[in-house]
Structure 1
Amino acid sequence: MRISITQVPQADELNKVINTVEAIYNGCVTDLQIADYVGFTDRQGRYYRLAAEILGLVENNKNNANLTPLGTELIVLDDQHRQKKIRTILKDNELFKSVLKFIESSNEGKKRNEILNYLGNLIEGAESTIARRLFTIINWLLSSDLIVLDIIELGENEKETVYKVNEELEEDDFIEDSDFKDSIYPASYNNDDELDIKEVHMQVVTLLRRNEQDKIVIPPFQRNQVWKQQQKSRFIESLILNIPIPPFYISQDLEGKMIIVDGLQRSSAIFDFLKGKYALVGLEALPSLNGKYYSELGELQARIEDRELLLYILKPSVPLSIVYDIFNRINSNGTPLTRQEIRNCIYIGKATNLLKELSEKDEFKMAIDKGIPSLRMKDREAILRFFAFSEANAQEDYKGDLDDFLGKTMRKINRMSEAEINSLSDRFFRVMKLTFDFFGYTNFRLPTQNSRGRINIALMECISVYFDKKSDKELLDRKMKIVENYNNILLKDHSFRESIRISTGSVSNVKIRYNKTFEILDK
């Protein structure tokens, strides 16, 4: 069925659609009032109100605009969550869902004229009007980060822009209705219990000494945002000038080690400077110190060493879901830590080393055809999910808290012997080799109508567990049938597809995908 041109927005800027919803929330009901609030012409006010109606955020009541429940739900969110909610609304809208599916059908991306030709068959309207609306559609998808731009080489120094689906978006980058129902709130916070968080004042020299004694740990991070020498120097200058600095947040493990989770760059700046690894540069308040190392500061050394720092220490009794929430609330570097990055801090040891090592192995990269980015440790979480759900009785023991489930697995790995760690590695490599042998370059991918699709982490998790539980003989004797059943479950079983796409951590979806996997692949 073709989409009416009336359901295609002509308001170019998505952020101003949100401003329009905000205007209505604040009492503007006519196009003129909306235009005055947002800074539009009267005509633009109408375009943007209609665009908000198309998204289901606004309804027209006798030429007065009212917010729908969805519009109210959106407008009370902060900017970060508004972006997630708008992204969710767009991917569920019939027009944008169709365009995204078309763009996703090509691994090389789609050119502008290809998208225009597709819209000509999708939308019922004049060709010239559709061509004008193309700009709005692409602009909305780009500003919501649902698609990205790429450049392809055409030969002889010619290049062309193409549009691709953003493969770095994860489930956490969207807000589904079930997210509020399955939230950690309010169950994880209990009004009757005070969180075991200790406030400690510690001198810089004491912090350094404990770090040298391995009592304070700075976890290794793969982050682009690493302080430059001038940033480090300005922080040291702040210590000397006694300028207030943000507190450090520490997670204490069961062995008593304190792991710095928020304050990584600041603590590194202190330790590296006191160990003579860099000289101060780019200082403006104390320019006479530029070029000087710590050993050359004379009496100012004592001012740095004696400076007291504020540490908030989260004891091991604090539930993991609350640890995630706290560190995402207070994270000071502007980019909230992913949950796997936080796990990488809290459970530093054998588990973090194993996940890093396995994620860099050729067997894994071949099995996924480099389809899971290492950025933000997404690849390590995928491996961890296999280990967690391949445990005996894992599906029965799983209670719906994926974070706690994965955290317990890392804690268990940290206590394993070298022989047990080697056994985990061997099992993982076996599964990666076997699944690639069976499914090749479609391994762990959710196919579209015209392409092999992208890697799906929940699919990788359950298929890997299936192969782990079966012997080589059981698998190889039925190879052709398993491949056929694998394709059928992905293409024809709607409930299975939904269980690996939406709310993948819910108890019901975990049960559905494992029951379906073993039932259908065993046929």
Structure 2
Amino acid sequence: MEQSEELIEQNWYQDDSEDDIGYSFREYDVTSTPNDFNTKTIIDFIESGLFKIPGFQRNYVWDIKRASKLIESIIIGLPIPQVFLYEEGRNSYLVIDGQQRLLTLYFFTKMRFPKKEKRFELRQIFDENGKFPDEVLHNDEFFDDFKLKLNETGQTEKNKLHGLNYATLGEFKSGFDMRTVRNIMIKQNFPTDDDSAMFEIFNRLNSGGVVLKAQEIRTSLYHSKFYNNLYSINMYENWRVLLDQTQPDIHMKDVEILLRGFAMLLDSENYKPSMTRFLNQFSKKSKSFNAESLPYFQQLFEAFCNYIVSINPRAFISNTGKFSITVFESIFVAICQDSARNSNLIIKETTAEKIENLKNNPDFINSTQSNTAGKANVENRLKLAKEILS
């Protein structure tokens, strides 16, 4: 079931990620230090902000049965997978692997379990507050009571922990509080100019579990005010119209498309493969963007969306009915690059006919069908779009 849902989630856009050339071979100097913390200490670390739960995992995905099994394992003394944390700075650790487990511990001690249909909204609340405020935790609109669900339908022998919550654990409570979980603290010593080792660790640690997409990883490593701006833009009504998707993508592909558009708009002259590395480097640059420029980016993009919707709301939808990332970024740069350079909101005019001419141009099509992340193809797409749309 999870596999089919994954396919559905990816099916709305044309995926060119396999054409990405990927990283060249690199060596790293990374320090890994093991620490055993009991569950009570871990909860304190989460609440104090010492352990930071990344944005993509604030959208909790476990169901009550899986969460209950983890709590049961801790109570009865079975080992659970270790947690990996990246040392961002003094007394500041980003959770690399183990977010779902840590949040399960947190929710269990709070005796509240997030409702599935409210989890995206809860992630936004966490982003704004750095935690789940008490008034939200105790709001039945967002949470149910967290009682262990360990009995299967038709099971004759009742599990003695079934139906208990943190407050009613009785003799098991102190054991649960004092049970330790192995934490691996990771620090990148070299290279010092980027966080590429952490990106690789995210990829490799999660390859055997819930597979993380590139933007989910990027969101945690490069969180910034610019990224907050992207989240806001991503909810803009006419952007959702152009995507032909009413709801945000659970793996943040729509946010990545926005990131890629702005990276090409503002930094295309520095592009070189791979696309993944380019977006990582641009994300790191964006952390130092002037906060005063961010409202302008949003205004420019909204003006662009409004204009495209007015001439052809399906401008970026391919013949297969999927959103074309390469068509979007080419048109966005062609229409908005002069505006961005001059910091104005004057959208360069084009026509629906010219957009169709671009999409049907043989050279443009060739540059979108294979090796789409190659430097020559990227440059050719942007060049053709500027020529044909003007």
TM-score, normalization by structure 2 = 0.74
Q: Distance in 2 between matches of 1:322 and 1:206?
A: 28
Aligned residues: 339
- 2:362 corresponds to which of 481, 490, 493: 493
- 2:234 corresponds to which of 351, 354, 359: 359
Report the Cα offset of residue 273 of structure 1.
1.4
Report the Cα offset of residue 400 of structure 1.
1.6
Do the aligned residues in 1 keep the contact of 2:147 with 2:162 (CA within 8 Å)? yes
Q: Say if 1:488 and 1:334 are closer, same or farther in 2 by CA, change over 3 A.
A: same
Q: Which amino acid aligns with 1:487?
A: E
Q: Distance in 1 between matches of 2:260 and 2:202?
A: 22
Report the Cα offset of residue 330 of structure 1.
2.7
Q: Secondary structure at the match of 1:312?
A: strand
Report the Cα offset of residue 357 of structure 1.
2.2
Q: Say if 1:411 and 1:353 are closer, same or farther in 2 by CA, change over 3 A.
A: same
Report the Cα offset of residue 216 of structure 1.
1.3
Matches within 5 A, 1:58-457: 166-167=11-12, 170-172=15-17, 174=18, 182-185=21-24, 187-188=25-26, 190=27, 193-221=28-56, 226-253=61-88, 257-277=92-112, 278-282=146-150, 287-298=159-170, 300-315=172-187, 320-331=195-206, 334-370=209-245, 374-391=249-266, 394-416=267-289, 418-438=291-311, 440-446=312-318, 448=319, 453-457=321-325
Report the Cα offset of residue 220 of structure 1.
4.1
Partner residue in 1 for 2:124: none
Q: Say if 1:252 and 1:427 are closer, same or farther in 2 by CA, change over 3 A.
A: farther
Q: Distance in 2 between matches of 1:348 and 1:499?
A: 32
Q: Secondary structure at the match of 2:304?
A: helix
Cα deviation code 1:126-163 (max 9, x no counterpart):
xxxxxxxxxxxxxxxx9xx7xx9xxxxxxxxxxxxxxx
Q: Distance in 1 between matches of 2:380 and 2:246?
A: 25
Do the aligned residues in 1 keep the contact of 2:234 with 2:248 (CA within 8 Å)? no
Q: Which amino acid aligns with 2:22?
A: S
Q: Secondary structure at the match of 1:505?
A: coil
Cα deviation code 1:218-266 (max 9, x no counterpart):
2344899822223222211211222121122233435763222421221
Q: Say if 1:473 and 1:243 are closer, same or farther in 2 by CA, change over 3 A.
A: closer
Q: Secondary structure at the match of 1:309?
A: strand
How many percent of aligned residue pairs carry the same amino acid?
26
Q: Say if 1:415 and 1:225 are closer, same or farther in 2 by CA, change over 3 A.
A: same
Partner residue in 2 for 1:70: none
Partner residue in 1 for 2:348: 475
Q: Secondary structure at the match of 2:212?
A: coil
Q: Distance in 2 between matches of 1:359 and 1:325?
A: 27
Q: Say if 1:501 and 1:252 are closer, same or farther in 2 by CA, change over 3 A.
A: farther
Report the Cα offset of residue 415 of structure 1.
4.5
Cα deviation code 1:262-314 (max 9, x no counterpart):
21221111111122322323169993333322233345333223322222344
Q: Secondary structure at the match of 1:463?
A: helix
User: Which sections of structure 2, spanning at least 5 residues, go unmatched?
Assistant: 113-145, 340-344
Q: Which has the higher contact order (CA 8 A, sep 6+)?
A: 2
Cα deviation code 1:369-427 (max 9, x no counterpart):
43997242111111111121221xx1222232322332343344445565332122112
TM-score, normalization by structure 1 = 0.57
Q: Say if 1:257 and 1:502 are closer, same or farther in 2 by CA, change over 3 A.
A: farther
Q: Secondary structure at the match of 2:370?
A: coil
Q: Say if 1:407 and 1:255 are closer, same or farther in 2 by CA, change over 3 A.
A: farther
Report the Cα offset of residue 198 of structure 1.
3.9
Do the aligned residues in 2 keep the contact of 1:456 with 1:500 (CA within 8 Å)? no
Matches within 5 A, 1:16-27: none
Cα deviation code 1:165-217 (max 9, x no counterpart):
95456223x5x6xx6xx3324x23x2xx4334443333322221111111212
Q: Distance in 2 between matches of 1:383 and 1:197?
A: 35
Q: CA RMSD in A?
A: 3.4
Q: Distance in 1 between matches of 2:347 and 2:230?
A: 28
Q: Say if 1:372 and 1:209 are closer, same or farther in 2 by CA, change over 3 A.
A: closer
